[in-house]
Amino acid sequence: MERVALVTGGSSGIGLASARALKAAGHKVSIVDINAETGQSIAASEGMHFVQADLTRQTDCQHADEDTVRALDELDILVNNAGMQHRAPLEDFPEQTWDKLIALMLTAPFLLTKYAWDYLIRSGHGRVVHIGSAHSLTASPYKVGYV
């Protein structure tokens, strides 16, 4: 059965691979990314919907869910994948960057899930997937905001 999936960070890496896998499984896919040019290009070539959003902003999280439903009629699967990292020694790590990391990788998945909740429940098939990655089993130098 065809479902509708929203994948954040869907223009590259794990997000793009997830979006492609969902599309290959027969689902309609909406990719959400901050990069409008790349996102629009990928969505057009892959037959997906694109939503440009800065997920560090509450209003953009709400817009991503609502735009997906408006364009694709429902929302069944939410893949919270968007992320970033900043490499710097702790003493040089900008506090504003820390705030942005927390907003993108902790607050955004909470908000996206909250705003999608009614759609997911109504679908009768709602699923939420949170993506996390680690490049190794040990911490890497200067990745205090990532590992």
Q: Which residues are annotated as catalytic?
A: 146
The tokens describing 52, both together, are 């440009």
Query: How much of the chain is helix, strand and coil, in % rounded to 5?
Result: 50, 15, 35
End-to-end, the C-alpha distance of the chain in Å comes to 38
Distance of CA 112 to CAs 31, 99, 104, 138, Å?
13, 18, 11, 30
Q: Confirm if 7 and 30 have CB atoms less than 8 A apart.
A: yes
Helix (H) or strand (E) holding 50: strand 49-52
Report the distance separating Cα 39 and Cα 51, nearest Å.
Answer: 8
The tokens describing 83, both together, are 């992320």
